[in-house]
Structure 1
Amino acid sequence: MTPPVLRVSGLTKVFGGREREALELAAQGVGRAEVLRRTGATVAVHDVSFAVERGELFVVMGLSGSGKSTLVRLLNRLIEPSAGTVEIDGRDLRALGDAELRTVRNEKISMVFQHFALLPHRTVRENAAYALKVRGAPAAEQRERADWALETVGLLDRAGARPDELSGGMRQRVGLARALAADSEVLLMDEPFSALDPLIRRDMQDLLERLQSELSKTIVFITHDLNEAMRLGDRILMLKDGRTVQLGTGPEIIAAPADDYVADFTSDVDRTRVLTAGDLAREPRLTARLGADPGDVLRSLAAADADGVYVLDDDRRLVGVARDDLLARAVQEGRTTLGPQELGGDHATVPAGTPVNQFVHLVGRHVVPLGVVDDGGRLLGVVPRAAVLDALSAVPARRSTP
Structure 2
Amino acid sequence: MTDANTPAITCQNLWQVFGQGADKALTDALSRSGNDADKAATDLREQGFIPAVQDANFEVKEGELFVIMGLSGSGKSTLIRCISQLLPGTGGEIRVDGENVIGASKKALTELRRKKLGMVFQHFGLFPHMTVADNVAYPLRVSGVGKKERMARAQEVITLVGLEGREDSYPRQLSGGQRQRVGIARSLAVNPDIWFLDEPFSALDPLIRRQLQDEFLRIQATLKKSIVFITHDIQEALKLADRIAIMRDGKIVQIGTPTDIVLRPVDDYVREFSKDVAKGQHAKVASVMRDESERGPDDPGLTTSMTLDAALAHCMELYEPVPVRDENGNIVGTVHPSDLAAALQVDET
Task: Quote how far apart the aligned CAs of 1:285 are.
Answer: 5.1
- 1:96-245 counterparts in 2 under 5 A? 96-245=104-253
What residue is the counterpart of 1:361 in the other structure?
Answer: 313
Structure 2 matches for 1:238-387, cutoff 5 A? 238-281=246-289, 306=297, 308=298, 347-348=300-301, 352-358=304-310, 360-366=312-318
1:366: how far off?
Answer: 2.5
Q: CA deviation at 1:69?
A: 0.6
Aligned to 1:21: 25
Aligned equivalents of 1:261, 1:157: Cα separation in 2: 46
Query: What secondary structure is seen at the aligned counterpart in 1 of 2:247?
Result: strand
Contact 2:41-2:54 within 8 A present in 1 as well: no
| Offset of residue 35 of structure 1 | 3.6
Identity %: 39
Residues 247 and 254 of structure 2 are in contact (CA less than 8 Å); yes or no, is this contact kept in structure 1? yes
TM-score normalised over the length of structure 1: 0.72
Seen in structure 2, the aligned counterparts of structure 1 residues 305 and 353 have a Cα distance that, compared at 3 Å, is: closer
Q: Is the 8 A contact 2:8 2:96 kept in 1?
A: yes
Conservation of the 8 A alpha-carbon contact between 1:22 and 1:39: no
**Whose RCO is larger (CA < 8 A, sep 6+)?**
2
Letter of the 2:126 counterpart? L
CA contact (8 A) 1:227 1:270 kept: no
User: Cα RMSD over matched residues?
Assistant: 2.5
Correspondence for 1:55: 63
Change (3 A) 1:6 1:201: same
1:356-395 deviation per Cα after TM superposition (whole angstroms, max 9, x unaligned): 445543323138xxxxxxxxxxxxxxxxx9xxx9xx9xxx
Q: Which residue of 1 aligns with 2:39?
A: 30
The one-letter code of the counterpart of 1:11 is: L
Deviates more, 1:251-260 or 1:73-82: 251-260
Structure 1 residues 34 and 98: alpha-carbon distance in aligned structure 2, compared to 1, 3 A threshold: closer
State the Cα distance separating 1:246 from its structure 2 match. 0.5
Alpha carbons 1:188, 1:221 under 8 Å: kept: yes
Query: Conserved in 2, the CA contact under 8 Å of 1:72 and 1:188?
Result: yes
Matched, 1:68 2:76: yes
Secondary structure at the counterpart of residue 10 of structure 1: strand
- Kindly tell me: are residues 176 and 274 of structure 1, through their superposed partners in 2, closer, same or farther at Cα, counting changes over 3 Å? same
Q: Which amino acid aligns with 1:229?
A: A
Give unpaired runs (5+ residues) of structure 1. Answer: 287-303, 310-346, 368-384, 393-402
What is the aligned length? 313
Partners of 1:32 and 1:241 within 8 A in 2: no
Whether the aligned pair in 2 keeps the contact of 1:17 and 1:39 (CA below 8 Å) is no
Task: Note if 1:2 corresponds to 2:5.
Answer: yes
Contact kept in structure 1, 2:66 and 2:228, CA below 8 Å = yes
| Aligned partner of 1:77 among 55, 79, 85 | 85
Between structure 1 and structure 2, the one with the greater Rg is 1
Q: Matches of 2:208 and 2:309 in 1, distance apart?
A: 21
Q: 1:93: Cα distance to partner?
A: 1.0
Cα deviations by residue, 1:198-243 (Å, 9 ceiling, x for unpaired): 1111111111111112221111000111111111110011111111
How much has 1:263 moved relative to structure 2? 1.6
TM-score, length of structure 2 as denominator length: 0.82
